[in-house]
Each structure stands twice: as structure tokens, then as C-alpha cells.
Amino acid sequence: MMTDFFLKLRQAGIPVTLTEFLTLLEALSQRVTAHNVEEFYYLARAALVKDERHYDRFDQVFGSHFKGLETLFDQVIGAKVPLEWLHKLAELTLTDEDKALIESLGGWEKLMETFAKRMAEQEGRHEGGNKWIGTAGRSPFGTYGYNPEGIRIGQHESRERRAVKVWDRREFRNLDDTVELGTRNIKVALRRLRRFAREGAAEELDLDDTIRSTARNAGYLELKMVPERHNAVKVLLFLDIGGSMDDHIRACEELFSAARSEFKHLEYFYFHNMVYEGLWKDNRRRYTEKTETLTVLNTFGHDYKLILVGDATMSPYEITYPGGSVEHFNPEAGEVWLDRLLRTWPRAIWLNPQSQKRWSYVPSIQMVRELMGERMYPLTLEGLGQGIRALQRIR
Amino acid sequence: MSESRFRGTEQYIATDDLMMAVNAAVTLGRPLLVKGEPGTGKTQLAEEVARSLNRPFLQWHIKSTTKAQQGLYEYDAVSRLRDSQLGDARVHDIGNYIVKGKLWEAFTIDVQPVLLIDEIDKADIEFPNDLLHELDRMEFFVYETREVIKAHHRPIIIITSNNEKELPDAFLRRCFFHYIRFPDKETMERIVNVHYPNLKKRLLSESLEAFFEIRDVPGLKKRPSTSELLDWIKLLVAEDIPPEALRGDQHKIVPPLYGALLKNEQDVHLFERLLFMSRRKKD
Ligand SMILES: Nc1ncnc2c1ncn2[C@@H]1O[C@H](COP(=O)(O)OP(=O)(O)O)[C@@H](O)[C@H]1O
Ligand SMILES: [Mg+2]
């Protein structure tokens, strides 16, 4: 029963781990809840779901799983089940952290033993009376018993009484579509760039100035500090948009939103396929509100790091010939413009969402890569990491 | 049920699911992570938990520059250097220059305290990970004095987040989690009640009506929260606004003093424009 619940949660895309499951069991065994199925629902949610965007899915799984199961809560915590389902769980869901945890608890066998003991204790205690794990009919979750406030599962009339269960109200439905998962990893990768900017920072003693000032101060110490060079890294992000890039919109959005929250000095512009004389900031107004690339070149200093994101998948003409662009007449070739960018911002990389395996089959990718001095990286976490490291190496 | 359970207070309305989350966290000694839009009572929750369980309350407010280490302790090397220059005897005891952080305080206080780590998402993205070890083991090592600081009692830890950054999985796994949904009308009524117990019924219901309608205006940048509602009601009372002034078809009536609800200039413009348009339609 519980295993299935757990598995269904995972199937629904809720990343529940064994650690959290053990927490729930521990909470049950410590009688955090003693009243009714509603409380059990709240407890399970607080223990298992760590993101409100998953609340709605949780509600659905909970609702469908526990629907009409009369002696449900006896089975849930019935003393005989856990060992077997723990094994099953373990095979399927152990993270490295879980494994470490289990190791630290003395390994699997030990854990099982403890568990069995705990369950036995439960049973023992239950014999004594008012503990909450129970056999049919005597559990607080059961139909009759010592918890007058408890909801009477399995009794038709009382279930009618509470017209709609909390989880059936689906109150969190609209939280689920804000999904913007995956940015965290990107942020972590981008962070490396930031850490680099902080190096040698942090309220540091300015030794030279301190010596000079102390000497001037008749040998009495006069400390001089340098201000923290906080979050100084400046990033220009140029994003290819439209056309073949449509397949990669999600990856780009994630990158963009992660970058925006990570860097104070982030400027971004859009281009299509290749950089030419104009860039734009709002894709809906790309034809009316262009910014001249020359202006951009003159606005942002050499200290900016340039990250181009594009699949570089186009006709070679778009790179090498004036007038080669598919959209407009470009007086100068794409490669001329790319060269200008690289001379203004030597710290530059190109991130390519296209699968790296295919790079060698697409001539334009080869060409752009060459123009970039080989600094093209796949738009994957690993590629991003390599790219960021490359940015740091360029002096 | 024993008194060690949290059930809200005279000043604080807790929903059933929030109570459960708090009590689970307290019983099991795990941190409780509370998320929710600003003004949903996250900060006050921690204070009320402390009050109702009769525990000392410690607040560690996180800023973008806060480092995990600052919660443990800081070594004030600069003061020590200065003292040494000035020949101060204090200099010989390095302990004089160890500045205790909130976690240290929470570990060594004589009764189990409630420690609030407020707005954890303001900090660097790795901040929560940097605290994992200390929160797990409930101890840390002070290198300078070679002592281990162990928690006398496992503090009740409440952590809040406005959801500006995602938090690391490893961190989340260790917490109980509760998301404070924006209060529905009924809950909001109870909340207003604890703040203004003598408020006239009519004014309460009319102002709530108007408030929720404004919150529903599509496209607002910053929807008014509980704190704005409370401020607004205070103004309404101070200005002696009669409930009638709030009543009726909101599309016709501009709620008085609505500047207290909409703080963002663009939102005010948007709101006025919508009102103007809907009034023209109805005339
Ligand atoms: N459930 C509640 N019960 C009583 N007052 C509340 C509640 N929720 C919010 N408030 C009030 O709203 C205001 C904002 O609360 P606060 O704790 O600062 O919110 P947050 O920390 O979530 O931004 C405070 O004046 C608080 O008293
Ligand atoms: Mg707050």
C-alpha cells in the first residue's frame, strides 16, 4: 500500500526520496498525528513534498490512491509490510545521499532490524491502548474508537459529511504551470563565473596602503581596507531566436532566467542565426526597435564577458557573404561582425544547444566554431561548465 | 493533547496544515521551511511558535551578503591586530575576538530556543548547503580556539523563503515543508479579527470584498498582501470611512485610500485605467 503510494508519487514526477519517506514513518511512529486522515494528508505532504508546484500532483495521487480504502490506515502502517517494501524502494530510489545515510546508520541489515523493532514497539504499545497504529476497528483511523474527532473512514455517512476532501479541492492547481525546473543547476554552473569575480575580494586588508599609512602615522597601525569587489562580473548574453532555435527554447529560457538572477550586470540581446548590424531586446518588436550593433559595441566595455547562444545552423552564405542573411540585406558579412565582437570582448564563448554529435556534419557550425577560436560548447551542464572555465582562462 | 503543540495564538491564525507542519518539525527536531508570497505571515509565525511554546526566540535575518560562517562565529582579526599594536592585554586571549553567531547562540542557550532563519533565499545559492553539516550534526568546530560547540538542545529551526531562488535538494530533503497559500476570505477575516478585534462587521466584510477584488485585477505587478490590507483597514478606521463608501459594484466605486493597497506606480495606473474603462462601459 505505502510502497505503491510512494511509487505513484515518483511516477507523477514528485522527487520523493527514501530519506523523506523514513521521516514520514518516523513522524507517524512518534504520533505527530493521531486524529484523522486529513491530518495524515497534511503530515505526508509536509514530509514528502518540498515544492508547492508539486502540491497539486500530490493531491491527485493522494486522492486516487486512498480513495475508498476502508481499512487503509491499518495496512499503511501494518507491521508486516515495511521490510519488504523498503527493499523494493531501495532498489528503485536510493540516491547517493540515501546510501550514505544508510551506511551511517550501520547498513541495510541494521536498518531493517531497527525498523522491525520500531514496528514491533508500535504493536506492543498498541496493545496497551491508545496508540495510533492499530488493527482493524481500533485504530484512530478506523471506524470506531477512542478518537471522537477522528474522521470515520469507511463509514459512508461520515464521509458524506465532509463533502469535499482537502486534496480533492485541488487548491494548488494553478501553481503547477509556473514550472521552471532545472534552472538551479544552470545557476550553479554560472556561479563559477561569479566566484571568479569575487576572488581576492571579501573585505580585505590593503597591505601596501596600510604600510604607507602606518609609517605616516608615526608607526601606529593604521589599517586600510579595500572594499569588497562584490559580484563584479559583467556578462553580455546574445541569444539566437526563432527558426531552428525553436526546438531549444526551453533550454535557452532556463539559461536566461538563471543568468538573470545570478548576475547583477547582465545585458542581453537577440539575433537571428548570425550577428549583423542590428540586435534587438524585445522579440515582438524586433523590426521596429533594433539597436545598432555598433552602439552595443561602444556601450559595453572590454571587461564584459560575451556569451553567444545559438545553434549556428544556417547556410554558410549567412556567415561569409554580404547580403547572405535570410531575413534582410546585410551590407557586411556575418563573420565580419563576429570578428568585431570578439575584438571588443575577447572573453567570449559560444554555447550551442545542438547535440554535439551532429556538429561535425553541419558546415556552418564548423565555421562559427573556427571563428570563435574553437570556443564553442554544448548547451548542457557539462558544456556550460567547460565554457565558463574557458572564459576564466582568457586574460 | 499536550501543551507542547502549536495551534496558533491570539495574535496569529494558523491553518490546520500549517499547525501540522510546525508540530511535525518540532516533534522530530527537523527544520521547517516555510514559503509563501511576502506578507503571508512567515516571519511572524516563528515568533508565535516561540511565544506559544514558551521558548526564547532568536532571529537570523539573511541578506545577499550573509555567509553561513557568520551564523557560527566570526574571528575579528582586525580588532586583535589593533589591540596588539596598542599593547592591550586582551590580545593574549584569542577568545576575546571570537564573535558568536546566531547558531552558536541557539546551540548554547539553556532552554531549547526557536531559531528563525529569515529569507534564506536572499543569500548566495550555496548558502543552505554550507549549513547542512551544522544543522545535521548540531555541532561545529571553532578553529581558532580548538573547541567544539555542541547544541545543548536541538533548536526548533524555522526557515523562510520568498522563493527568489530554488533551494538545494539535499537541503530540502532534511526539512519539513509548508507553503502558505494566500489566505481565503474566511481565513483572512480571522486574521483581520486578531489585529482589529473591534472592527465593525460591515466595514470588515466590505473592505475584504474590495480587497479581494483588487487582488484579482489581472496583470498587477505586486498584488496587495495581508500587511497592505491591515494597513488599509487601519487608515479606513482612522479616516472614519463608512462601509457604504466601499460597498456595491466595485467597477463603479473607487475604493478610498487605495494607495495603501497598491504601492507600485504602474499598478496604480493600471488599476485606474481599468476602473475608467469599466465605468465608461457601464454609463
Ligand atoms: N496568519 C496570520 N495571523 C495574523 N497576522 C498575520 C497572519 N499572516 C500575516 N499576518 C500579518 O501580516 C503582516 C505580515 O506578516 P509577516 O510575518 O511580516 O509576513 P512575511 O514574513 O511572510 O512577509 C504582519 O503584520 C502579520 O501580523
Ligand atoms: Mg518576513
- A205 or A384: which leads in pLDDT: A384
Q: Considering only CA atoms, which residue is closest to atom 8 of ligand 1?
A: B41
Query: CA B255, CA B252: separation in Å to the nearest integer?
Result: 9
Which residues of B fall within a CB distance of 8 Å from A183? 166
Answer whether A187 sits within 8 Å of B173, measured CB to CB. Answer: no
- The residue in chain A having the minimum alpha-carbon distance to the alpha carbon of residue B79 is A223
Closest chain A C-alpha to B234 CA, distance in angstroms: 30
Measure in Å the smallest separation between the Cα of B211 and chain A Cα atoms. Answer: 20
In the predicted model, is pLDDT for residue A204 greater than 70?
no
Residue B97: alpha-carbon gap to chain centroid:
32
Chain B contacts of A215, Cβ < 8 Å? Answer: none
pLDDT confidence bin for A346, thresholds 50/70/90: very high
Q: Do A50 and B175 touch (CB under 8 A)?
A: yes
Q: What is the pLDDT of residues B52-111, one digit of tens each?
A: 999 999 999 999 889 999 999 998 888 888 888 888 888 888 889 999 999 999 999 999
Which pLDDT score is estimated for B99? 94
Query: Looking at ligand 1, which residue's alpha carbon is closest to its atom 24?
Result: B227
Nearest CB among A23, A38, A184 relative to B166 is that of: A184
A233-392 folds as: Rossmann fold (3.40.50)
Which ligand neighbours the alpha carbon of B61 most closely?
A: 2
CATH of B16-180, one of 3.40.50.300, 1.10.10.10, 3.40.50.2000, 3.30.460.80: 3.40.50.300
Q: What is the pLDDT of residues A235-281, one digit of tens each?
A: 898 988 767 776 777 677 777 777 777 777 788 888 888 999 999 88
Is pLDDT of B141 > 70?
yes
Extended strands (E) in B162-249: 176-179
Among B20, B26, B215, pick the best mutation site for testing chain A contact (most A Cβ within 10 A): B20
Give yes or no for residue A341 having a pLDDT over 90: yes
Give yes or no for A281 touching B (CB within 8 A).
Answer: no
Condensed to tens digits (0 to 9), the pLDDT of residues A9-43 reads: 988 888 898 889 888 888 877 777 755 678 888 99
CB within 8 Å: B125 and A188? yes
For the cut 50, the answer to whether the pLDDT of residue B26 exceeds it is: yes
DSSP state, residue B111? S
Q: Is B56 on the interface with A (CB under 8 A)?
A: no
In angstroms, what is the span from residue B11 Cα to ligand 1's centroid?
Answer: 10
Report ipTM (2 d.p.).
0.90
Locate the domains of chain B by residue range: 16-180, 185-281
At A59 the three-state DSSP class reads: helix
Please judge whether A49 and B177 are an interchain contact, meaning their C-beta atoms are less than 8 angstroms apart: yes
State which amino acid sits at residue B96: N
Lowest-pLDDT choice from A187-196, A291-300, B189-198, B269-278: A187-196
| B81 interfaces chain A, CB cutoff of 8 Å | yes
Q: B265, B220 in Cβ contact below 8 A?
A: no
Whether B79 contacts B139, CB under 8 Å:
no
How many Cβ contacts (< 8 angstroms) between chains A and B? Answer: 83
In whole angstroms, what is the distance from residue A236 CA to residue A279 CA? 12
| pLDDT tens-digit readout, A316-325 | 888 988 888 8
Q: Which ligand is nearest to the CA of B8?
A: 1
Q: Which residues surround ligand 2, an ion (CB under 5 A)?
A: B 43
Quick one: average pLDDT of A363-390? 88
> Which residues contact residue B126 at a Cβ distance below 8 angstroms, ignoring those fewer than 6 apart?
A188, A191, B168
Instruction: Find residues 88-107 of chain A whose CB sits inside 8 Å of chain B.
Output: 97
For an interface test with B, which of A52, A186, A220 has the most B Cβ atoms less than 10 Å from its Cβ?
A52
Ligand 2 centroid to residue B261 C-alpha, Å: 18
| Whether B216 contacts chain A with CB within 8 A | no
Q: Which of B15, B40, B47, B62 to mutate to test the pocket of ligand 1 (most atoms within 8 A of CB)?
A: B40
Chain B residue numbers touching A27 (CB-CB < 8 A): 24, 27-28
> Ligand 1 pocket check: which of B59, B226, B232 to mutate, most ligand atoms within 8 Å of Cβ?
B226
Measure B121 CA to ligand 2 centroid, in angstroms.
12
Task: Quote the pLDDT of residue A178.
Answer: 32
Nearest-CA distance from A97 to chain B in Å? 8
| Closest to B31 measured CA to CA, from B88, B94, B116, B97 | B116
Structural domain boundaries in chain A:
1-119, 197-232, 233-392
Q: Does B178 touch chain A (CB under 8 A)?
A: yes
pLDDT value for A125:
39
Cα separation values, B196 from B52, B189, B281, Å: 20, 10, 37
CA-to-CA distance for A305 and A267, rounded, in angstroms? Answer: 10
Q: How far apart are CA B125 and CA B107, in angstroms?
A: 25
Name which of A113-127, A233-247, A346-360, B244-258 the model is least confident about.
Answer: A113-127
Per the CB < 8 A criterion, the answer to whether A131 and A146 are in contact is no
Cβ atoms A92, A17 nearer than 8 A: no
B-facing residues of A in 298-357 (CB < 8 A) are none
Grid cell of B54 as nine digits: 514558551
- Helix segments in B29-173, DSSP class H: 42-53, 68-72, 77-85, 102-108, 127-137, 169-173
Q: Do A52 and B179 touch (CB under 8 A)?
A: yes
Average pLDDT, chain A: 71
- Asked if B166 and A171 come within 8 Å (Cβ–Cβ), the reply is no
Taking CA–CA distances from A184, the nearest residue in chain B reads B166
Q: What is the pLDDT of residue A133?
A: 32
Q: A-chain residues within 8 Å CB-CB of B33?
A: 50
